[in-house]
Structure 1
């Protein structure tokens, strides 16, 4: 006589990135988790929202606990507004550039890119220093600025002067006028701080692969402005490096966030992969221990996903523990499917048929839940057949 046993409910780790402009990573994880549990009652689901250093990084990190704050700081146009920051349980302060000087901030991008600055990121750092923070995680993705981080440095106490000794505003259109920099007023507490700059960008500050040429157009830099603003950044960097006695303009990551990465490097920051840093802080490896399956995803997946994006980092962590990974995204680039399949055991879009983008965004939670449920049924059937 033989007895049959049904497969045990799986332990599923869900570590998605956000669906930009639609759902946060936390909301995406919750929707996928609901679909799994509806299809496989009793499944143990571990939600670990992830991000790669862009929009949504603060939310992903705060999922693990900590204190969320609203601090008054300047947006890219110089207007004061409350922006979210966080302090994690270990005392690390989190600043998300996209939440302060982001491309999606209508008020901040109401002025031309050559008039925008990162003053607000410096404002946020000062407010957190006042609260005792000395370890900073700065997420660089999604910024609307191209000022080489001059605004950040000026908010922290740096002073820019032209040849006549007049103050120079820290905006791209004025950086070519900088003749002298006084760094003596930089807040002394910055020297005590450990700064981790989170980004998957390895571009230098200037040149054909620099901040202005590569990322400027998406922020509003016109073809005619590229050379002008690039030269302005190069000039600013030359004067700054002479004043501070160090060099970083050619370092990988200096071009991140319109050169904000450069300013942080000049302050002694360590550059790290955003997704790797978030994965460490949210305990993704611990969640994968003993797991049967990982589901991850993002708004749209293509070949760029494999260059340090959150789903790829999550899949690599899972692979190291022998856990298969399914990619469930808003959309999948069919031409990239062959490349994606090398890192994921199945790539799926949540869209069931033709429809408008507006409809997909409005129905995203239900589409995620339904798609996750169907994938879970397939997984359960395959697991049962193996047993």
Structure 2
């Protein structure tokens, strides 16, 4: 029996790689004769760099950047050499929400400047092709931090240059792209995201995601107006519409900023899977196992497990979902998976769940594999 193991991370407890290796260990414990193929996945958020670089046997690079609060941080990104060298970047480890202490979370005080610094570092190595994962940011600056690092200039009413934090959206009076780094003219950017939210509106970046990043209702209302002014100035300056394009609101508007320099927005799971050549693995296996930290009705809207289940169905393979917990509307999930499992076996607090995540995943997987083994033997 052959198993393809292609999970997302269990956010807050296990990386996708740790999830995959734990499932593999459980299979080997129960069924030593079974074989496994490990393809830890990501959908543009946390783990995107690791998933792609490890699968393609790429190179990891560590670079000092400006972190989300404006202080120095070390960010890891990757280089893969396929048809052309490509930089693999994820905003989660440059200006990510987990990099900001809970008590300091406020999108007025965060910046995407470090994303631009990584792009410049890649330029210096001769790289002109980029895949940028947009999940997990702490920012809602519309990407002005990143653009500032790349040479775009934002001025206030007194003609002072703005540094590129979320709070600077309130003061933008003029936009100037004329000093944009000229190397961008020869670049290809793919912005990988698992959301379709536009920059503005009731389903936009600020309304939906800024509260998760520490914004109060009053701040959300204020930043929505400021983001609209900023977007209008950029679109008037460039003569192109971007703010209502699907996905433009990803990563607090970093996607919008990337669109203005020629990027293409693509579904993160699809970008990662195509880069890793995931499709080539399905014909070689009998079962597919995927999972994530929490599976609920939101999983149905482009999250990685649904992508894996859809691919498995196309190849006429059964797909199992093993997640840390199952939330609302799991009946709808059952339409896409052969079966859905939660690893939590008893009522416990969140801290205990996180601490026991690996053990619980191992135990649950063992029980599932034991069932498959027994059925297969009949």
Q: Structure 2-normalised TM-score?
A: 0.96
Deviations 1:279-337 (A, max 9, x none): 1122221111131000110101101111111111111111111110010111112x422
**Partner in structure 2 of residue 31 of structure 1:** 22
Q: Which range is displaced more, 215-224 or 359-368? A: 359-368
Equivalent residues of 2:106, 2:213 under 8 A apart:
no
Equivalent residues of 1:157, 1:185 under 8 A apart:
yes
**Displacement after TM superposition at 1:192 (Å):** 1.0
Equivalent residues of 2:68, 2:100 under 8 A apart:
no
**Partner in structure 2 of residue 6 of structure 1:** none
Equivalent residues of 1:255, 1:261 under 8 A apart:
yes
Q: Which range is displaced more, 116-125 or 104-113? A: 104-113
Q: Which range is displaced more, 373-382 or 293-302? A: 373-382
- Which of 100, 116, 122 is the aligned partner of 1:106? 100
Q: What pairs with 1:160-309 in structure 2 (closer than 5 Å)?
A: 160-309=154-303
Return 5+ residue gaps in structure 1 as ranges.
1-9
Deviations 1:5-28 (A, max 9, x none): xxxxx1100001101111110010
Equivalent residues of 1:279, 1:314 under 8 A apart:
no
Deviations 1:208-227 (A, max 9, x none): 22111111111111111222
**Partner in structure 2 of residue 155 of structure 1:** 149
**Displacement after TM superposition at 1:123 (Å):** 0.6
* Secondary structure in 1 matching 2:98: coil
Equivalent residues of 1:76, 1:109 under 8 A apart:
no
Q: Which range is displaced more, 234-243 or 190-199? A: 234-243
**Partner in structure 2 of residue 52 of structure 1:** 43
Return 5+ residue gaps in structure 2 as ranges.
none
**Partner in structure 2 of residue 62 of structure 1:** 53
**Partner in structure 1 of residue 332 of structure 2:** 339
- Which of 321, 329, 333 is the aligned partner of 1:327? 321
**Displacement after TM superposition at 1:363 (Å):** 2.2
Structure number, greater radius of gyration: 1
**Partner in structure 2 of residue 75 of structure 1:** 67
Q: Which runs of 4 or more aligned residues in structure 1 lie more than 6 Å from their structure 2 counterparts after TM superposition? A: none
CA distance in 1, matches of 2:201, 2:355: 41
Q: Which range is displaced more, 37-46 or 351-360? A: 351-360
Q: Structure 1-normalised TM-score?
A: 0.94
**Partner in structure 2 of residue 357 of structure 1:** 350
CA distance in 1, matches of 2:146, 2:126: 19
